Structure 1
């Protein structure tokens, strides 16, 4: 079963946090929470969990990142953005594991003085974990920013957390510059806007945390109703922009997350089917086999973590 790692869990269990003289005051929620750590104290493996905080890692080393149905081989230095809504695990490959990581809560990045929440940024939306491979110049610049954050946190400067938000903005903009230009806020027509709203709504239905959590939006009509548009309008927009129908998108996402549950949880196939909105497990079996060529049971036996 996918569990949730809280800030308290992190500070009690992570080797880097255990070196601190005392635990932070988690009850002081006035400005949220922010901290930065060296990666040299990281463990070789982290379990497949969701975290209740965001994290940005300047990763110097090699390893494997697992999330959803993705297995990404990190074979060179990278800047990685971890979304609090996306469960993941990490397995180090190289002996050298250096760099920095910072973690922060939603309250910290959504500080009321900001005109726009950082979570509106595409780096923190959806169900992905963006990975940016960096060259030596980018590595040096980012390393310098993390070092400054670490140093300023130890200072008595009264506005140091405002400064931390500015440093975060710098890191985010460095990553945004690496995005393809068409992903960095190009003008969208009506179909593109509908597609964007649908995909964001679809992403928010996942992941599923427990066998009692049942998918709320299951059909094309469900999504069209939630978006207050006709289902034919939704289908036309998606077909124009993505080449796929609403139902194809839904099935693709359901199969993707069913694979995660079959691999990572101990739920029965019937429980997985129920969570994903299938009244009968046999119907789920048929859909899964049609999409993958094997049954859910066979997939689990082959890919179980």
Structure 2
């Protein structure tokens, strides 16, 4: 049996949720820009734990304990206050919100709908495009009210006959993305946008390697030197520029991304340890075992025993 991590398409999403598949997706499943916005006011069962080939932004308005749980990569994030959630398509995720929670908006759209509208440095600063960032941004009541107006306006436009409604919706989407960056920067106190072409090119190359979908498609770029060669710069220059703009060394950023992917594969697939090691570019499983324990404090097998999610939930 082929070992791959399933990725849900927009067509599969509509089928799973019992909705009619829009005609544009049926006739042009890959090339047509697609957008939808929904307001959910009833109970939502736990969504399947998988990756997606589309983007999704959710606005949760509930407050208090037990208002929901987002499982994102290897993390369980409690949704105990109003928040906006930006889930990166390549990151396996599932959300469970109890039936007594308040109403919530969600928008989902594919890459062609927004392609070319968001500059690389803004993408790096947004969890919607940068899988290394925390996906949940907490909101005050005032912030929640303001963002709710954005979602409501997109829904109103979607249902209207205005001929340029898609252009307006794209503009509001960009506002939402920038709001998420701005609010996250405000909460963390860290600079959000890196305006350096070399750094953005480095992150673009890094992110192109993920997700790892099969043990037969292993990572190729594992060291700063590998990236420097492709970017046609000296490795010392790459290290200096990346450290200046991100606060982390190139090697640290690579390690963090590889370890995050290792956690996801160990938790969410039935691949054996050797297959995970090969998928991540390690020649020998013993080297992967030592590497993983160095960064997490536990062996891959110990981590899997603690955190494993059954494959049926993928």
Q: Same fold (TM over 0.5)?
A: yes
Distance 1:226 1:293, change over 3 A: same
Distance 1:119 1:35 in 2: 26
Alignment of 1:1-305 (within 5 A): 2-14=5-17, 18=19, 23-26=22-25, 27-28=27-28, 32-41=33-42, 43-61=44-62, 62-93=67-98, 95-110=100-115, 120-121=122-123, 122-123=125-126, 124-127=128-131, 128=133, 130-180=135-185, 183-185=191-193, 194-238=198-242, 245-305=249-309
Q: Secondary structure at the match of 1:234?
A: helix
1:233 Cα offset (Å): 2.5
1:262 Cα offset (Å): 0.7
1:60 Cα offset (Å): 2.0
In the alignment, structure 2 segments of 5+ residues that lack a partner are 310-314
In the alignment, structure 1 segments of 5+ residues that lack a partner are none
Distance 1:236 1:185, change over 3 A: closer
Residues 86-128 of structure 1 deviation map (CA, whole Å, 9 limit, x = unaligned): 32111225621412111111111126xx5x5599533233213
1:154 Cα offset (Å): 1.9
Distance 2:79 2:49 in 1: 17
Residues 227-280 of structure 1 deviation map (CA, whole Å, 9 limit, x = unaligned): 211223333444556665443433332222111111110001110010011111
Distance 1:291 1:151, change over 3 A: closer
Distance 1:245 1:81 in 2: 26
TM-score (norm 2): 0.82
Distance 1:110 1:236, change over 3 A: closer
- Structure with bigger strand share is 1
Distance 2:203 2:176 in 1: 26
Distance 1:153 1:194, change over 3 A: closer
Distance 1:54 1:258, change over 3 A: same
Q: How many residues align?
A: 294
Larger Rg: 1
Q: Which stretch of structure 1 is more off in the superposition, 1-10 or 119-128?
A: 119-128
Distance 2:31 2:205 in 1: 30
1:70 Cα offset (Å): 2.8
